Amino acid sequence: MNHPIEISPPDIAPYKQGNTGVDYVHVLDSGKPGPNVMVQALTHGNEFCGAIALKQLFDEKIVPQQGRLTLAFANVAAFGRFDFADPDRSRYIDEDYNRVWGDEALFGPRDSAELRRARELRPFVDAADFLLDLHSMHEPCRPIMVCAVQGKGGEKSAAFSRRIGVPGDLLIDTGHPAGLRMIERGGFGDPASPKTAVLIECGQHWEKGAAEVAVDTLFRFLLATGAVSASICKSRTRLAPPAVQKLIRVTEAVVAKSMDFRFPYLFKGLEVVPKAGTVIATDGATTWRTPYDGCVMVMPSLAHVKPGTTVLRLGRYD
């Protein structure tokens, strides 16, 4: 299903040459002690609401009051081929940039456009104390904060998300079977480390509201880390925070076995299926049923379905 494109991809060409020797990566140093804070946009080239938020930081010449602030546009090669007639084509070039963050991939012999870019950004990711990864979703859904994996940094990510104060739904995940994500790398995925990373799904890729969520979350994140002054951050938050933040714990991922994977209903995401045993998908001869009452349907999408692709996560509210 094609969704309306309500926002335009921003012109990021002026930010290509930074001060790091790596294209589209800028490190702003306050010259004062403080945390190393990183924000990344364009993990996927068709998810440009985060790039709109980063552009605002650059255009307003916002600088850190302490520590260092690293701003990175990630998969710029994929973003560069964005086409209004085929917007999903720009998700990546060779493979998903957000599945290559394990050492076996980054330091191994395999090659791809995304691996080359991840290898360029790895030193900045590994140096970060706090990291925000700005994303969006293929299907319309209210925003979700994806925290690290259960038992591997998920609790500290969820606690930090409560300090940020948005969005209303927080997700402790089980990881991704296709490979390690950036928010799970190194100290981010170590409960004993103070390093913390979160990933915000701001809404449907190209809806106006996704850009508004990206900007609002960015400034709340910068406020929570202390990187940028409270007066600057508070004056730029426009959306009302939720009255309460609810935590979803993912229990399993539904991975497609074939191209015949189907949902019997038009799930948009975060629906709660009341009864255990309810049919929620078919995949050839395989039938997927809810494993318990109150099962939450997390980010269902057939946009990129192929064998081995996660098309749905099942969870329950804490």
Tell me how far the alpha carbon of residue 224 is from its chain's centroid.
18
The arithmetic mean of pLDDT across residues 274-298, rounded, is 96
Q: Quote the pLDDT of residue 89.
A: 86
> H helices then E strands: how many in the chain?
7, 14
Residue with the larger pLDDT of the pair 177 and 78: 78
* Nearest residue to 315 (alpha-carbon basis) of 96, 137, 131, 144: 144
Residue 12 is encoded by which pair of tokens? 């990021």
At residue 1 the predicted structure's pLDDT band, cuts being 50, 70 and 90, is low
**pLDDT number for residue 305:** 84
Separation CA 136–CA 42 (nearest Å)? 10
Mean pLDDT confidence for 171-181: 88
The pLDDT score that the predictor gives to residue 12 is 98
- Domain residue ranges of the chain, discontinuous segments joined by +: 13-236, 251-317
> Which backbone phi and psi does 192 adopt, to 5 degrees?
-85, -10
Which CATH number is associated with domain 251-317? Answer: 2.40.50
Going by the DSSP 8-state scheme, the letter that residue 103 receives in this structure is H
Determine what percent of the chain is predicted with pLDDT higher than 70. 100
Largest CA distance in the chain: 61
Name the E strands within 56-143.
68-73, 130-137
Model confidence at 2: pLDDT above 60: yes
- Average pLDDT of 13-39? 97
13-236, what's its fold?
Aminopeptidase (3.40.630)
pLDDT, residue 151, reads 87
pLDDT at 205: 93
pLDDT tens per residue, range 181-232: 999 999 999 999 999 999 999 999 999 999 999 999 999 999 999 999 999 9
What pLDDT sits at residue 23? Answer: 98
What are the tens digits of pLDDT across the range 100-150?
Answer: 999 999 999 999 999 999 999 999 999 999 999 999 998 889 999 999 898
Q: CB within 8 A of 153, min separation 6: which ones? A: 147, 184, 188, 189, 190, 191, 193, 196, 197
Residues in CB range of 251: below 8 A, 6 or more apart:
174, 291, 292, 314, 315, 316
Side-by-side strand order, sheet with 169-173: 25-29, 68-73, 36-41, 130-137, 196-204, 144-149, 169-173, 246-255, 310-317, 295-298, 272-273
Instruction: Determine which of 145-154, 158-167, 222-231, 244-253 has the lowest per-residue pLDDT on average.
Output: 145-154
